Chain A
Amino acid sequence: MSKVLIYGEVKSGKLKKSAFELASEGRRIADALGGEVGAVLIGPDTEKYAAELAKYGVDKVFLVDGPVLETYNSEYFAQAMAGVIKEKNSEIVLFSHSMQGKDLAPRTAAKLGTAVIADCVSFRLDGTTLVGRRPMYAGKCFSEWSATGTPQIASARPNVLETAEVAKAGAVEKITVEIDSSRATYSTKELNLDTSGKVDLTEAEIIVSGGRGMGGNDYTLLEEMAGTLGSRATVGASRAAVDAGWRSHSDQVGQTGKTVTPNLYIACGISGSIQHLAGMGSSKVIVAINKDTEAPIFTKADYGIVGDLFKILPEFNKELKALLSE
């Protein structure tokens, strides 16, 4: 029996970092309860990931494969996941609150007659009950959630839980789950992934974000700076910039966009409305560049620069380049 079960998400032939975050958290929980951590990998050719999971404290890796599991599909993957949870009598199940996790976790939970404690930023145990702390209103407040029955299913915000290397066996077990492919579901026609290697906002470690003060859709200065900062950096935007059509909806940070938690958030020409501050207020370090000294963003910024972003950003980029090439 695996007391704690995690779902290992694979993207572009690699386990996502969130899988290690979940494995590490699963290990901490299982150690406190006295139990094993299992990880589920769904799809073809996943055995190769078992060793990596073992490094982060996974005792057993359960592989589920089958004809309809070649590409992700909410219905089939949820059947597979629910099948393993039932077979292993898992008490606690952790997903990542990624795009795929948001789709998969609730469908899996519903098959087991429960709901998901979604988007948690930390966990604790109250006896054998898992308590997830999670932001609400895009981070304007927090609350603690728990499930009333078993399994207790939760999802964790990517990039928040700490990874810790604890070597365990990671023994591989192939599990056969009977997938009912007669259940109605969608079929994938096209998958258009951005191959530039750009990291998603919710998983970026550094975000360079632009708002109304950008004055138009030319974000070259921000793109350049993100480029200087490397592959874990990306460009975001405020609602004003998105609503003006300067940036795509997927770039929006805030209550009606994405809630982000990077190590460094650089707000350029963003005044800092309540809904924007909610969406990025949990960033570890905030830099704000704005010409209005009264802008609310300065009340949250660790480093506030009052001035013209078009003059400051090129200098900033130059300094970063010099520093990072050392």
Chain B
Amino acid sequence: MIKACKDANEALARFKDLFVKPVFSGFILKGDFTVKSLVCLKQVPDTETQIKVMPDGSGIVTDGIKYVINPYDEFSVEEALRIKEKMKAGDVTILGLGPDRVVEAIRTALAMGADKGIHVSDDALLQADPYCVAEVLAAVAKQTEFDIIFCGHRAIDDDLGETGAILAELLQIPQVTLVTKIEVAADKKSVTCERDVEGGKEVVESPLPCVVTSQKGLNEPRYASLPGIMKAKKKPVDKKSLGDLGVTIEAKLKCANFTMPPERKAGQKFEGMEPADVAKTVVGLLRTEAKVI
């Protein structure tokens, strides 16, 4: 069990400021048990946000926006916690990039039960493209121990949906995208995942470490409990800058000319008509006027 000792020692080293009691180290030394998850988390405007574009088209108006954890990242947090609970031990680290408000999102994930947070804050990250974001995530990952890196399959703000795959490539590890089910093997060397493919599902087995991107259907995320929220306040959130990570980023993509979608106006409305009449009328219009059937 050389690997077990090695893992336990590494786990101890990483937990040293959190768990100093010898009784805990005794527990840790019992075997190879931990699944270390690194959960990448993005903070995005709530889905009920009315997006408005700035008059000069340079971006969106951010005043008054309510920010939440990207829903797909919430599935990631939940899944990492469930794996930890199922394995009876483990470690869930939340990694967030962006301005100071991102700490709220990290704290929410800590309140759900994650162990610690890493917040990379740097002005250079404002409007960073997925490649740059992945470079930063990769730099953190290289300094962190992990078995599974979770990313949402996309963030519901820019909707690009590519950071997870780029991160996997930068780390030269497998990607398993659009995942709706995960089972960690008993030996903790692989995961079996169910993933969405066009018109169906695929079951794949990936060696660890790997990047998993979460899709809706993976789980139902829990709410943070009050004790959870209290505990989260004391959990460590490590703040890093790009300088600390030794990363310089260079934009691969740029965006401009933000516009609102073409205004859609209400068309004809049919009220108080007999079902048979209204059906005949509308079906007729779909053929003759709209020409879609």
Q: How far is the CA of A275 from the CA of B130 in the complex (A)?
A: 24
- What residues of chain A lie closer than 8 Å to B215, measured between beta carbons? 249
Instruction: Evaluate whether A138 and B278 lie within 8 angstroms (CB atoms) in the complex, with A106-B165, A186-B174, A307-B273 already known.
Output: no
Q: How far is the CA of A99 from the CA of B176 in the complex (A)?
A: 12
Q: B270-292: which residues lie under 8 A (CB-CB) from chain A? A: 270-273, 275-276, 278-280, 282-287, 290, 292
Residue in A closest to B280 when the chains form the complex, CB atoms: A319
Of A193, A259, A303, A318, the residue contacting B285 (CB under 8 A) is: A303
Stretch of A46-54, A143-151, A167-175 lying at the B interface: A143-151
Q: How far is the CA of A190 from the CA of B197 in the complex (A)?
A: 12
Q: Determine if A119 is an interface residue (Cβ-Cβ < 8 Å).
A: yes
Q: How far is the CA of A63 from the CA of B242 in the complex (A)?
A: 42
Stretch of A27-35, A37-45, A210-218, A250-258 lying at the B interface: A250-258
Residue in B closest to A300 when the chains form the complex, CB atoms: B264
Q: Determine if A85 is an interface residue (Cβ-Cβ < 8 Å).
A: no
Q: Is the interface of A mostly helix, strand, loop or mixed?
A: mixed
- What residues of chain A lie closer than 8 Å to B176, measured between beta carbons? 186
What's the minimum C-beta distance from A264 to chain B, rounded to whole angstroms?
Answer: 4
- What residues of chain A lie closer than 8 Å to B203, measured between beta carbons? 188-192
Q: How far is the CA of A241 from the CA of B268 in the complex (A)?
A: 26
Of A119, A143, A287, the residue contacting B282 (CB under 8 A) is: A287
- What residues of chain A lie closer than 8 Å to B71, measured between beta carbons? 256
A 119-132 binary contact with B (CB < 8 Å = 1; else 0): 10000000000000
CB pair A303–B258 under 8 Å, yes or no, is no
Of A138, A184, A189, A300, the residue contacting B207 (CB under 8 A) is: A184
B 153-184 binary contact with A (CB < 8 Å = 1; else 0): 10011111111111011101111111010000
- What residues of chain B lie closer than 8 Å to A301, measured between beta carbons? 266-267, 269
- What residues of chain A lie closer than 8 Å to B156, measured between beta carbons? 137-138, 255-256
CB pair B252–A148 under 8 Å, yes or no, is yes
Q: A259-296: which residues lie under 8 A (CB-CB) from chain B? A: 259, 263-264, 273-275, 281-282, 284-287, 293
Give the number of chain A interface residues (Cβ < 8 Å).
97
Of B45, B175, B205, B290, the residue contacting A189 (CB under 8 A) is: B205
CB pair B160–A316 under 8 Å, yes or no, is no
- What residues of chain A lie closer than 8 Å to B49, measured between beta carbons? 137, 140, 274
Q: Determine if A117 is an interface residue (Cβ-Cβ < 8 Å).
A: yes
Of A229, A250, A299, the residue contacting B266 (CB under 8 A) is: A299
- What residues of chain B lie closer than 8 Å to A248, measured between beta carbons? 217
- What residues of chain B lie closer than 8 Å to A190, measured between beta carbons? 202-203
Q: Determine if A107 is an interface residue (Cβ-Cβ < 8 Å).
A: yes
Q: How far is the CA of A301 from the CA of B49 in the complex (A)?
A: 21
Of B162, B217, B279, the residue contacting A250 (CB under 8 A) is: B217
Of A134, A142, A146, A263, the residue contacting B254 (CB under 8 A) is: A146
CB pair A285–B162 under 8 Å, yes or no, is no
Instruction: Evaluate whether A191 and B266 lie within 8 angstroms (CB atoms) in the complex, with A109-B166, A115-B162 already known.
Output: no
A 304-326 binary contact with B (CB < 8 Å = 1; else 0): 11111001101110111001100
Q: How far is the CA of A119 from the CA of B156 in the complex (A)?
A: 13
Q: How far is the CA of A256 from the CA of B216 in the complex (A)?
A: 8
Instruction: Evaluate whether A144 and B256 lie within 8 angstroms (CB atoms) in the complex, with A184-B207, A249-B216, A303-B267 already known.
Output: yes
Determine the interface band of chain B, counting residues with CB < 8 A from chain A.
Answer: 35 or more
CB pair B259–A109 under 8 Å, yes or no, is no
Q: Determine if A111 is an interface residue (Cβ-Cβ < 8 Å).
A: yes
Q: A176-232: which residues lie under 8 A (CB-CB) from chain B? A: 183-194, 198, 200, 206, 229
CB pair B269–A323 under 8 Å, yes or no, is no
Q: How far is the CA of A109 from the CA of B129 in the complex (A)?
A: 13
CB pair A99–B197 under 8 Å, yes or no, is yes
- What residues of chain B lie closer than 8 Å to A139, measured between beta carbons? 261
CB pair A198–B256 under 8 Å, yes or no, is no
Q: How far is the CA of A146 from the CA of B255 in the complex (A)?
A: 7
Of A106, A184, A186, A324, the residue contacting B162 (CB under 8 A) is: A106
Q: How far is the CA of A314 from the CA of B284 in the complex (A)?
A: 16
Q: How far is the CA of A275 from the CA of B216 in the complex (A)?
A: 15
A-B pairs with beta carbons under 8 Å apart, 17 shown: A103-B178, A107-B166, A110-B168, A119-B160, A143-B259, A183-B172, A184-B174, A184-B210, A185-B206, A250-B196, A256-B47, A256-B71, A259-B159, A264-B292, A274-B48, A274-B49, A284-B292
Question: 10 new A-B pairs (CB below 8 Å) besides A136-B158, A193-B197, A274-B47?
Answer: A107-B168, A109-B131, A115-B160, A145-B255, A146-B253, A191-B203, A192-B203, A275-B48, A303-B270, A316-B279
By a beta-carbon cutoff of 8 Å, the part of chain A in contact with chain B is 11, 74-75, 78, 98-100, 102-103, 105-107, 109-111, 113-119, 134-149, 183-194, 198, 200, 206, 229, 242, 248-250, 252, 254-257, 259, 263-264, 273-275, 281-282, 284-287, 293, 298-308, 311-312, 314-316, 318-320, 323-324
